[in-house]
């Protein structure tokens, strides 16, 4: 157990290269940081202090459990449950629905932070705090979950940074934007429940890119060999900081080459 004061976290983030006044998308493991007096609140405050009053902090607040039960595998549910689940789910509400436990306690802390804004996608929402929060989360379409008009697309337009705090590139959601940028990405039908004005849930479906993060660790490792990611300590955690445009552009080129080659091998 190591004691990590909040002010030292802020210093570590600044030393890593967090842009004061910038837009920062963070993926995180709270436990990796060490023992911080004040807990998750202090860690989020350290991030906001590093960004300064003109900076904006963004986190994924995805709700993967709000999805078609026919696709569930960990664990699966009986087919006779599928329709009752779709019918009885209360429906995603940006103000009410917590982030999935897989997103971590820091993401949920940001979601509930005073002044936080959240996008309204029922499966891959993002929350943001800061003066550019509205620019990041507005207009999140069902059928462009992680594409150009999504929060990750907004981060690209705003030339933001990505921080992996104690997690690997398999959590680097920005790489999905590279999938959306492929010439003919695989697509699938998705579904979720959305809360209506009368408080009931309504099941909706849409078609979008079928995301695949199975090779993101490989992409990230290759990206880091270019020197475009800064790796260093943030408390007891390892932080990886990069410009989002750089990693998205690299991933788009990597996917175009390597996934096409893998498909050719499979079809041979």
Token pair 């004040």 is at which residue? 38
pLDDT tens digits, residue range 181-236? 999 999 999 999 999 999 999 999 999 999 999 999 999 999 999 999 999 999 99
Predicted TM-score (pTM) of the model is 0.94
- Domain positions in the chain: 6-66+96-188+212-267
Torsion of CA 200, 60, 20, 117, to 10 degrees: 0
Cα separation, 73 vs 33, in Å, equals 31
**Per-residue model confidence as pLDDT tens digits over 209-223:** 999 999 999 999 999
Strands of 126-129's sheet in order across: 117-118, 126-129, 56-60, 23-28, 161-165, 237-243, 229-234
For 61, 87, 243, the CA distances from 228, given in Å and listed in that order, are: 26, 47, 8
Collapsing DSSP to helix, strand or coil, 165 comes out as: strand
Q: Among 188, 123, 130, which residue's Cα sits nearest to residue 154?
A: 130
Task: For residue 144, count CB atoms less than 10 angstroms from its CB and return exposed for 0-12, middle for 13-18, buried for 19 or more.
Answer: middle
């Amino acid at each position: 157990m190591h004691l990590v004061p909040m002010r030292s976290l802020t210093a570590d983030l600044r030393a890593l290269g967090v842009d004061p006044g910038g837009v920062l998308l963070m993926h995180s493991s709270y436990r990796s940081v060490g023992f911080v007096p004040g807990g998750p609140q202090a860690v989020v405050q350290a991030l906001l202090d590093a960004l300064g009053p003109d900076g904006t902090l963004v986190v994924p607040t995805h709700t993967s459990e709000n999805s078609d039960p026919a696709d569930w595998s960990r664990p699966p549910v009986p087919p006779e449950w599928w329709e009752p689940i779709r019918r009885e789910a209360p429906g995603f509400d940006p103000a009410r629905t917590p982030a999935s436990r897989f997103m971590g306690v820091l993401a949920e802390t940001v979601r509930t932070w005073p002044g936080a804004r959240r996008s309204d996608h029922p499966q891959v929402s993002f929350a943001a705090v800061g003066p550019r929060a509205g620019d990041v989360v507005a207009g999140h379409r069902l059928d462009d979950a992680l594409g150009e008009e999504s929060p990750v697309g907004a981060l690209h337009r705003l030339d933001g940074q990505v921080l992996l705090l104690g997690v690997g590139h398999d959590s680097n959601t920005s790489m999905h934007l590279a999938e959306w940028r492929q010439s003919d990405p695989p697509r699938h039908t998705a579904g979720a429940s959305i809360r209506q004005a009368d408080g009931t849930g309504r099941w909706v479906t849409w078609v979008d890119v079928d995301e695949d993060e199975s090779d993101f660790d490989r992409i990230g490792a290759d990206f880091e060999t270019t020197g475009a990611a800064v790796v260093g300590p943030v408390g007891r955690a390892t932080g990886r900081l990069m410009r989002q445009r750089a990693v998205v552009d690299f991933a788009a080129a990597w996917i175009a080459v390597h996934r096409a080659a893998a498909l050719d091998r499979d079809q041979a």
